[in-house]
């Protein structure tokens, strides 16, 4: 039985109040928490808001962000911790609003409710015909719930992060023994039998099976395939550690077996940051025995062809092109960016919501990339005199806040600093659409850009990951970017190479695929 929530107040800076609300033994889904935190952060007078389960990792993040009170330190992993900082009146308003926001997910009818069917309250009540369980509990409990799902004959999609490595290994061993998939932990994207899980886009149904340890990488490649007229048969996320030496690619190999045996799958495409070399060799050896073409996109890898029908590429645009080519199609023609003015000696500020895009860009600037320390909400952002490529979805930058695909606060602060820094030579932004993402992701970025006169700001390069069937509409979002003065690139790869040319003095030619951006349509 849930105990009555109580409120604690910590040391108060001048004109500001820091407050913790603890709801003992009250679990809430992480996506619901992120959205509620985003709504609270938007309230006037609120400097920072975070809603998290009180795991050790989350408490450390809140402490670094100066959002944890001494009383809040006593919260247990099963407790929901609400951390607020702002003016006295704003905090009071947030406290009054927070409970209603947390109740909103419970008001949404569960699948089947409209037919009078009771929603399952536990895995033991789930219909095995469902086929899959989505696990989004706090990390310390996620593996146990996923094991229950597997033993009830369900594939497990584990959205939860902070799952110990030894538990992930055990979970995937059990899934393999039972002939099921353990997707995750920390699996952000999948599309199973047409059902999107986590952050995923509205895609054509088709003949390509995707497997990926990279969520935004899968989104970029799948959207490029969609734009080229191809469709997705299945998209199986594995979690970011699957291709590590410790995990050994267990889910990747199990997913490969399922897709290779599926007659409706004509090609398998793998997407990952560089895997452990021995695990990569194992995966590629299996790929060479496949009965269909395979494209392996290992970011940063040298291009190579293995056997009769296995290709290895090193970037996301190249992965989509290679898949289209392997299926007998013609990839989109090469794209050349327009020539724009550049700032001599200026530095790159790549401010990504997707970690895969940050990695891809770092690969394209291997000898000239720097990074800055964690951003703390409420403090000014400053950049060093070097190139900066950031994954602003990383815990170090969100500091307990929602992911930037949901809440733009942290990225807006970095964009503001980049636009007004005289050392900035070019800015790069990704806009990721789809289920789970914010309803209008361009609007807060455009608002920051509009604050700086066009003649005074550096070139801002942007790209959109999405389709016109996504709730946000990719065409509409591209048009909003262009109206704000953003230079549109068709893909993450093109954007990174274009920006690298602007800050390095290299010829401004990105090469590669050309998609129908709003610039192309209007010309």
Please answer whether residues 310 and 287 qualify as being in contact, where contact means their C-beta atoms are separated by less than 8 angstroms: yes
* Whether 307 and 428 share a structural domain: no
Q: Which CATH number characterizes residue 505's domain?
A: 3.40.50.261
**Residues contacting residue 433 through CB under 8 Å, at least 6 positions apart:** 201, 441, 464, 465, 466, 467, 470, 471, 472, 473, 474, 477
| Beta strands at 205-212 and 232-237: parallel, antiparallel or unpaired | parallel
Predicted local distance difference test score (pLDDT) of residue 34: 77
Q: What does each of the 523 residues of the chain score in pLDDT, given as a tens digit?
A: 334 344 444 444 446 889 998 988 877 766 677 778 878 888 899 988 888 888 787 888 788 778 899 989 999 887 889 999 999 899 988 988 887 787 654 333 333 333 344 445 554 555 555 589 999 877 778 899 999 999 999 999 998 887 899 999 999 999 999 999 999 998 989 999 988 998 999 999 999 999 999 899 999 999 999 999 999 999 999 999 999 999 999 999 999 999 999 999 999 999 998 899 999 999 999 999 999 999 999 998 889 998 889 999 999 999 999 999 999 999 999 899 988 877 667 899 999 999 899 999 988 887 778 787 766 655 678 898 899 999 998 877 765 567 888 888 889 989 999 999 999 999 999 999 999 888 899 999 999 999 999 999 999 999 999 999 999 999 999 999 999 999 999 999 999 999 988 887 655 444 433 222 222 222 2
**Bond from prior residue into 185 cis (ω within 30 degrees of 0):** yes
Q: Which residue, among 522, 220, 159, has the nearest Cα to 353 in the 3D structure?
A: 220
Predicted local distance difference test score (pLDDT) of residue 31: 67
* Whether 435 and 494 share a structural domain: yes
Instruction: Report d(CA 22, CA 82) in Å as an integer.
Output: 6
* Whether 422 and 312 share a structural domain: no
Confirm whether 141 is domain-assigned: yes
* Whether 128 and 39 share a structural domain: no
Instruction: Report d(CA 107, CA 73) in Å as an integer.
Output: 31
* Whether 285 and 152 share a structural domain: yes
Confirm whether 334 is domain-assigned: no
Predicted local distance difference test score (pLDDT) of residue 405: 87
Looking at 238-352, which runs of residues are DSSP E strands?
Answer: 267-272, 294-298, 304-306, 310-313, 347-352
Range of the domain at 407: 347-522
Please answer whether residues 309 and 250 qualify as being in contact, where contact means their C-beta atoms are separated by less than 8 angstroms: no
Confirm whether 45 is domain-assigned: yes
* Whether 418 and 502 share a structural domain: yes
* Whether 98 and 135 share a structural domain: no
Confirm whether 367 is domain-assigned: yes
Predicted local distance difference test score (pLDDT) of residue 104: 56
**Residues contacting residue 224 through CB under 8 Å, at least 6 positions apart:** 316, 317, 320, 491, 513, 515
Helix runs in 365-473, H state only? 395-398, 409-420, 442-450
Predicted local distance difference test score (pLDDT) of residue 375: 63
Please answer whether residues 265 and 259 qualify as being in contact, where contact means their C-beta atoms are separated by less than 8 angstroms: yes
Q: Among the three residues 107, 134, 169, which one is the final residue of a domain in this structure?
A: 107
Confirm whether 174 is domain-assigned: yes
* Whether 263 and 138 share a structural domain: yes
* Whether 425 and 481 share a structural domain: yes
Instruction: Report d(CA 498, CA 34) in Å as an integer.
Output: 33
Q: Which CATH number characterizes residue 71's domain?
A: 3.30.1360.30
* Whether 383 and 471 share a structural domain: yes
Predicted local distance difference test score (pLDDT) of residue 446: 96
Overall domain count for the chain: 3
Helix (H) or strand (E) holding 236: strand 232-237
* Whether 129 and 99 share a structural domain: no
| Tokens read off for 117 | 């069917």
Predicted local distance difference test score (pLDDT) of residue 139: 78
Instruction: Report d(CA 328, CA 322) in Å as an integer.
Output: 10
| Beta strands at 267-272 and 487-488: parallel, antiparallel or unpaired | unpaired
* Whether 282 and 401 share a structural domain: no
Confirm whether 113 is domain-assigned: no
Q: How many CB atoms lie within 10 A of CB 54?
A: 25
Q: Which residue, among 84, 31, 30, 39, has the nearest Cα to 57 in the 3D structure?
A: 30
Confirm whether 112 is domain-assigned: no
Confirm whether 359 is domain-assigned: yes
| Tokens read off for 516 | 């129908």
Q: How many CB atoms lie within 10 A of CB 327?
A: 18
Helix (H) or strand (E) holding 210: strand 205-212
């Amino acid at each position: 039985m849930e105990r009555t929530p109580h409120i604690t107040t910590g040391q108060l800076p001048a004109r500001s109040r820091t407050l913790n609300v603890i709801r003992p033994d009250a679990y809430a889904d992480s996506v619901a928490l992120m959205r509620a935190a985003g709504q609270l952060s938007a309230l006037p007078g609120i400097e920072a808001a975070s809603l998290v389960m009180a795991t050790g990792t989350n408490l450390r993040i809140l402490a670094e962000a100066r959002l944890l009170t001494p009383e809040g330190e006593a919260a247990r992993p099963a407790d929901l911790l609400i951390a607020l900082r702002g003016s006295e009146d704003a905090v009071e308003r947030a406290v009054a609003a927070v409970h209603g926001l947390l109740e909103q997910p419970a008001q949404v009818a569960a699948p089947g409710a409209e037919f009078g069917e009771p929603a399952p309250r536990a895995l033991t009540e789930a219909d095995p015909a469902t086929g899959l369980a989505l696990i989004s509990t706090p990390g310390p409990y996620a593996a146990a719930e996923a094991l229950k799902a597997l033993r009830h004959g369900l594939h497990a999609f584990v959205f939860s992060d902070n799952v110990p490595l030894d538990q992930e290994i055990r979970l995937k061993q059990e899934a393999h023994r039972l002939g099921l998939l353990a997707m995750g932990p920390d699996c952000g994207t999948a599309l199973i039998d047409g059902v999107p899980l986590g952050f995923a886009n509205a895609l054509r149904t088709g003949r390509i099976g995707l497997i990926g340890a990279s969520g935004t990488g899968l989104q970029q490649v799948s959207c490029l395939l969609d734009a080229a007229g191809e469709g997705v048969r299945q998209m199986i996320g594995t979690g970011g550690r699957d291709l590590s030496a410790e995990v050994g690619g267990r889910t990747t190999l199990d997913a490969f077996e399922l897709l290779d045996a599926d007659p409706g799958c004509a090609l398998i495409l793998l997407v990952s940051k560089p895997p452990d070399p021995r695990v990569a060799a194992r995966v590629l050896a299996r790929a060479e025995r496949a009965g269909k073409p395979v494209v392996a996109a290992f970011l940063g890898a040298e291009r190579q062809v293995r056997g009769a029908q296995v290709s290895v590429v090193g970037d996301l645009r190249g992965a989509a092109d290679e898949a289209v080519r392997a299926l007998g199609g013609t990839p989109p023609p090469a794209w050349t960016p327009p020539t724009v003015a550049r700032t001599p000696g200026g530095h790159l500020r790549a401010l990504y919501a997707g970690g895969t895009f940050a990695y891809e860009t770092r690969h394209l600037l291997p000898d000239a990339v720097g990074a800055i320390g964690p951003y703390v909400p409420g403090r000014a952002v400053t950049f060093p005199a070097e190139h900066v490529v950031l994954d602003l979805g990383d815990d170090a930058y969100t500091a307990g806040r929602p992911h930037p695909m949901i809440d733009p606060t942290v990225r807006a602060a970095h964009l503001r600093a980049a636009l007004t820094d005289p050392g900035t030579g070019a800015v790069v932004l990704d806009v990721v659409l789809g289920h789970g993402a914010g309803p209008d992701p361009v609007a807060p970025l455009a608002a920051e850009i509009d604050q700086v006169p066009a003649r005074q700001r550096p070139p801002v390069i942007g790209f959109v990951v999405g389709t016109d069937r996504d709730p946000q509409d990719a065409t509409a979002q591209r048009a909003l970017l262009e109206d704000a003065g953003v230079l549109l690139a068709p893909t993450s790869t093109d954007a990174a190479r274009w920006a690298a040319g602007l800050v390095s003095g290299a010829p401004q030619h990105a090469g590669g695929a050309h998609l129908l951006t709003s610039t192309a349509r209007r010309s």
